[in-house]
Amino acid sequence: MTYPTIHKDPADLRVTPNLPAAGWPGFSWAVARSWLDGLPDGAGLNIAHEAVDRHAAGPRAGHVALRWLGRHGERLDLTYADLARRTSAFAHALERLGTAPGDSVFALSGRVPALYVAAIGTLKARRVFCPLFSAFGPEPVRQRMAIGEATVLVTTRTAYERKVAALRDGLPRLRHVLLTDVPADAAPPEGTLSFAALVAGEAQEYAIAPTDPETPALLHFTSGTTGTPKGAVHVHEAVVMHHASARFALDLHPEDVYWCTADPGWVTGTSYGIVAPLTHGVTSIVDEADFDAERWYATLREERVSVWYTAPTAIRRLMRLGGPAQGALAAPALRFVASVGEPLNPEAVVWGQDALGLPVHDNWWQTETGGIMIANTAAADVRPGSMGRPLPGVEAAVLRRGPDGVLLADGRAEVLGPGVGGELALRPGWPSMFRGYLHAEERYRRCFAGGWYLTGDLASRDEDGYFWFLGRADDVIKSSGHLIGPFEVESTLMEHPAVAEAGVIGKPDPVACEIVKAFVVARPDAAGDGGLTRELLGFGRARLGAAVAPREIEIVTELPHTRSGKIMRRLLRARELGLPVGDLSTLEGGEIP
Ligand code: AMP
């Protein structure tokens, strides 16, 4: 079913949108850079200064920067001045611990204030901040900390004991583990320090050293079809995009109360859950608790959230529960709702209108782009099912994918016209573009061709420049908004003594977009089917954590292979969906090398 365009009537909008419906003629990245201050005396650009220190030194010092809602009803407001003091103390502590600029500070923590302090304090000290999702199991944590050469880990006692302590010998670069839930006067477990004790005596002012905008700032891990996770490196210059895109795509205004539901363990939760709203000087809601429909509606209502950035899976879960009860959103301050991370079905856009009184504005970006690229914006008409149009300064195109990649024989990419599906590509040059995959130069180079950055997504464009998502060009899995590499799951399952071979796919799911499903060939001497399935589900969960582990396992007698012996995931997926298998040559992209 096609859904009619939702027209915006300027009279219905409660504020004047930052980005006019007609776009921003004359926009350049230099214009966006001029919206930021830069370090005093022309000493460069540092995310922490733009996010916190410049507000703490001005009229917004007393404005609430973060309003933390604890899982059990606790509340904590941190003003910009508070945040400046706490992050300064953490920056000093990093120096006192003997770390050097460029060292990486990892976080494995739920949404607690110390996580936000650690992120900004790390950037102040020009160390590199790398968040990990707290629902990762020991294996994803170990791999990422090893690739990222973690020097410091900020985590909780339980996460440390369950996921890190046993791995520590394999992480020789890890020098300090800081526990956020050990009080300053309590004894931390051996080999760790109390975060509170560490920062307690530190000075609360910190002068950020000159920072070249190309200095690495953030490391975000993402997954490909094959191989180990990829560490995408982002630099301080990215803040130009964080700020500009939040202005355009999230329509942030100074008095907004903003709530990003993404976890900082993923790129959205850092770029738009920590950095971007702070650069705008707004109040951000940080909810420690996980999804709970009643709690969420109450938060929107009682905290007077005006701009809400969430995920399609969350919207679909709310839809399933039937929307807010009558009056649950009475007198809402809510004026703009956006979502990202996976396809937003048109029904969800329209549901927003009925249940929340506002359409949900889909937008698109990925770890590598570092910021929102394509969006449905506040002033523009919404075409339900479309990701929207490229933001000012972003050039997007759909390229033909030839049988041997996207390039034509003469080395130039062919840009396709309206209505034709192909690979979504972006013209390099926006400020938050990743600067490389850590220790994987060749993988980085393969992302570019013919003067374009290739996103790995398939899309089409219509006559009016709206982009429509068609799917992934590779086999990565999107589950509840989280990108999962099938190879990582397969490799872990193969470590179980009963597993001879494993092939992992994303199985479509009406709420989570996809769930991880594994097909496993058991070793001849393995126990019977029912017991083994249960055993492997538990094994996957213990090693990989709930966010990555397979939710379904099917024991099969063999897996489909190409002539060269690679497993064909797409064939597994086609069979799972009951689709015709078609020409096997098109399955090459989904093979396991
Ligand atoms: P990540 O790097 O984990 O943020 O995942 C990025 C990927 O999520 C993209 O390459 C897309 O495949 C998918 N994605 C993000 N936003 C959207 C969207 N609005 N519609 C469809 N897919 C999306």
* Closest CA to ligand 1's atom 3: 483
Q: Specify the pLDDT at position 322.
A: 80
Torsion sign, CA atoms 118, 91, 45, 40: positive
Q: Residue 16: CA atoms inside 13 Å, Cβ hemisphere, count?
A: 1
Residues in the chain: 593
* Closest CA to ligand 1's atom 5: 366
- Quote the DSSP letter at residue 167: G
What number is the average pLDDT over the span 406-435? 89
∠ CA 272-278-280, nearest 5°, is 100
Q: Specify the pLDDT at position 4.
A: 94
Structure confidence by residue, pLDDT tens digits, 354-363: 888 899 999 9
Q: 146: pLDDT confidence band, cut at 50, 70 and 90? A: very high
Q: Specify the pLDDT at position 377.
A: 98
What number is the average pLDDT over the span 435-459? 95
Question: What is the topology classification, in CATH, of domain 477-559?
Answer: GMP Synthetase; Chain A, domain 3 (3.30.300)
Question: Is 313 a pocket residue for ligand 1 (Cβ < 6 Å)?
Answer: no
What number is the average pLDDT over the span 91-102? 98
Least confident of 85-99, 346-360, 405-419: 405-419
Structure confidence by residue, pLDDT tens digits, 298-319: 999 999 999 999 999 999 999 9
Q: Specify the pLDDT at position 330.
A: 65
What number is the average pLDDT over the span 431-454? 95
Q: Specify the pLDDT at position 585.
A: 39
**Under 8 Å CB-to-CB from 441, ≥6 apart: which residues?**
none
Distance of CA 159 from the midpoint of ligand 1 (Å): 28
Q: Which two tokens stand for residue 512?
A: 């989570």
What number is the average pLDDT over the span 483-501? 93
Q: 2: pLDDT confidence band, cut at 50, 70 and 90? A: confident
Q: Specify the pLDDT at position 12.
A: 84
The whole-angstrom distance between residue 244's C-alpha and the CA centroid of its chain comes to 18
| Alpha carbon distance 234, 137 (integer Å) | 25
| Alpha carbon distance 121, 154 (integer Å) | 12
The answer to whether the beta carbons of residues 504 and 486 sit under 8 Å apart is yes
Question: Is 78 a pocket residue for ligand 1 (Cβ < 6 Å)?
Answer: no
Q: Specify the pLDDT at position 211.
A: 98
| Alpha carbon distance 506, 518 (integer Å) | 9
Question: Is 386 a pocket residue for ligand 1 (Cβ < 6 Å)?
Answer: no
Distance of CA 182 from the midpoint of ligand 1 (Å): 37
What number is the average pLDDT over the span 123-132? 98
Query: CB 5: neighbour CB atoms within 10 A?
Result: 13
> What residue type is 415 in one-letter code?
V
Q: Does residue 491 surpass a pLDDT of 50?
A: yes
What number is the average pLDDT over the span 103-107? 98
Domain ranges of the chain: 477-559
**pTM (predicted TM-score):** 0.94
| Residue that wins the pLDDT comparison between 476 and 403 | 476
Distance of CA 364 from the midpoint of ligand 1 (Å): 6
Q: 563: pLDDT confidence band, cut at 50, 70 and 90? A: confident
| Alpha carbon distance 87, 116 (integer Å) | 9
Residue carrying the six token digits 């920590």: 274
The answer to whether the beta carbons of residues 462 and 468 sit under 8 Å apart is yes
Q: Is 96 helix (H, G, I), strand (E, B) or coil?
A: helix
∠ CA 242-247-250, nearest 5°, is 90
Distance of CA 452 from the midpoint of ligand 1 (Å): 18
Q: Which two tokens stand for residue 545?
A: 């954590």
Q: Does residue 448 surpass a pLDDT of 70?
A: yes
| Alpha carbon distance 166, 179 (integer Å) | 16
Structure confidence by residue, pLDDT tens digits, 253-284: 999 999 999 999 999 999 999 999 999 999 99
Q: Is 103 helix (H, G, I), strand (E, B) or coil?
A: coil
Question: Is 430 a pocket residue for ligand 1 (Cβ < 6 Å)?
Answer: no
Question: What's the whole-number average pLDDT of the chain?
Answer: 93
Q: Give the percent of the chain with pLDDT over 90.
A: 85
| Alpha carbon distance 544, 526 (integer Å) | 22
Q: Specify the pLDDT at position 22.
A: 92
* Closest CA to ligand 1's atom 22: 342
Which long-range contacts (C-beta less than 8 Å, at least 24 apart) are formed by 505-510? Answer: 505/475, 505/477, 505/569, 505/572, 505/573, 505/576, 506/475, 506/476, 506/477, 506/478, 506/479, 506/573, 507/552, 507/573, 507/576, 508/577, 509/479, 510/316
Nearest to 141 by CA among 489, 222, 133: 133
Q: Specify the pLDDT at position 354.
A: 87
| Alpha carbon distance 57, 207 (integer Å) | 12
* Closest CA to ligand 1's atom 19: 364
Nearest to 271 by CA among 306, 232, 298, 327: 232
Least confident of 142-146, 227-231, 273-277, 278-282: 227-231
Q: 328: pLDDT confidence band, cut at 50, 70 and 90? A: low
* Closest CA to ligand 1's atom 10: 366
Q: Specify the pLDDT at position 226.
A: 83
Q: 409: pLDDT confidence band, cut at 50, 70 and 90? A: low
Q: Specify the pLDDT at position 583.
A: 45
Distance of CA 351 from the midpoint of ligand 1 (Å): 21
DSSP string, 127-142: PEEEEE-TT--HHHHH
Q: Specify the pLDDT at position 404.
A: 62
Q: Does residue 385 surpass a pLDDT of 80?
A: yes
| Alpha carbon distance 384, 345 (integer Å) | 7
Q: 589: pLDDT confidence band, cut at 50, 70 and 90? A: very low
Distance of CA 510 from the midpoint of ligand 1 (Å): 17
What number is the average pLDDT over the span 128-144? 96
Distance of CA 371 from the midpoint of ligand 1 (Å): 12
The answer to whether the beta carbons of residues 123 and 129 sit under 8 Å apart is yes
Q: Specify the pLDDT at position 593.
A: 28
Q: Is 536 helix (H, G, I), strand (E, B) or coil?
A: helix
Q: 390: pLDDT confidence band, cut at 50, 70 and 90? A: very high
Q: Give the percent of the chain with pLDDT over 70.
A: 94
Structure confidence by residue, pLDDT tens digits, 449-478: 889 999 999 999 999 999 999 999 889 999
Residue carrying the six token digits 């992992």: 504
* Closest CA to ligand 1's atom 23: 342
**Under 8 Å CB-to-CB from 254, ≥6 apart: which residues?**
280, 281, 282
Q: Which two tokens stand for residue 583?
A: 């020409």
Structure confidence by residue, pLDDT tens digits, 4-62: 999 998 888 889 999 999 999 999 999 999 999 999 999 999 999 999 999 999 999 99
Q: Which two tokens stand for residue 454?
A: 């290739």
Q: Does residue 437 surpass a pLDDT of 50?
A: yes
Residue carrying the six token digits 């300090």: 176
Q: 529: pLDDT confidence band, cut at 50, 70 and 90? A: low
What number is the average pLDDT over the span 172-178? 97
Tell me the CA distances in angstroms from 440 to 219, 391, 437, one per residue in order. 14, 29, 5
